[in-house]
Amino acid sequence: KFDLTDDNVSEDLETGNIGTFGRLAKVWCGADTGDTTEALSGRWNKKPRMASFPNNGKSEPVFVTTRLDAVCSHHLIRFGDDDADETSLVVVGYIPEEKLGGISKINRFVEWCARRGWLQEDLTEFIGKEVEKAFETKSVYVALLNNKHGCASTRGACDREAGTSTVYKSGKFKENIELIPSKFRG
């Protein structure tokens, strides 16, 4: 129950106070379709461009790492990197064929994806398949390693130490795990 007369909860648009329920809607949707900072803003924002360039003979695997700040689509609770845990990581790797990918674009793409509401397993696969398409390669590796789920740490099991890892592999990565540095294997 909420006391709708409480100044900390109530809406007063004359003073610019959107109230608790307005703030809650903003957390999930953002202030407008250009807002990229809110929990589910990726649902409303344009997908970032995944730049690619002609490949001049490179054939060694490329790996990019980043952190994750996502929302669980089951509970609408955050999952991803826990600032206190240095072991949480997102790894995106690919083996160039005709194109080289823009590495900073991978980080932006992962951030956009994460702000759409996912099960971690589905997010991992989505990133992998999108990298395959954007960089025109059959060999992609995506690992979301040791991500902390609020739905496991603040409710349910209430296990603050629990971490979840998921992996997507295609092409040469599926055939030969030795192509993946051991520190990136899930």
Q: How confident is the model at residue 112 (pLDDT cuts 50, 70, 90)?
A: very high
What is the reported pLDDT for 74? 81
Give yes or no for residue 93 having a pLDDT over 90: yes
Residue 113: pLDDT band with limits 50, 70, 90:
very high
Residues in contact with 30: Cβ distance below 8 Å, sequence separation at least 6, in sequence order:
36, 37, 38, 40, 41, 44, 45
What's this model's pTM, rounded to 2 decimal places?
0.87
Scan for tokens 């971690």, then name that residue.
Answer: 120
- Rounded Cα gap, residues 70 and 53, in angstroms: 29
Burial (CB count <10 Å: 0-12, 13-18, 19+), residue 86: exposed
pLDDT, residue 84, reads 61
Q: Given a cut of 80, is residue 86 above it in pLDDT?
A: no
8 A C-beta contact, residue 127 and residue 148: no
Q: Higher pLDDT residue, 12 or 158?
A: 12
Q: Judge whether 94 and 135 are in contact, CB under 8 Å.
A: yes
For residue 105, give Cα distances in angstroms to 4, 23, 94, 131, 149: 44, 30, 14, 10, 25
The closest of 98, 97, 101, 99 to 63, measured between CA atoms, is 101
User: Coil, strand or helix: which one is 63?
Assistant: strand
Going by C-alpha positions, the residue among 111, 93, 101, 107 that lies closest to residue 170 is 93
Q: How far is CA 99 from the centre of its chain?
A: 24
pLDDT for residue 92 is more than 80: yes
pLDDT of residue 87: 72
Tell me the C-alpha distance between 143 and 186, whole Å: 6
Does residue 133 register a pLDDT over 70?
A: yes
Other CB atoms closer than 10 Å to residue 92's CB: what's the count?
A: 26
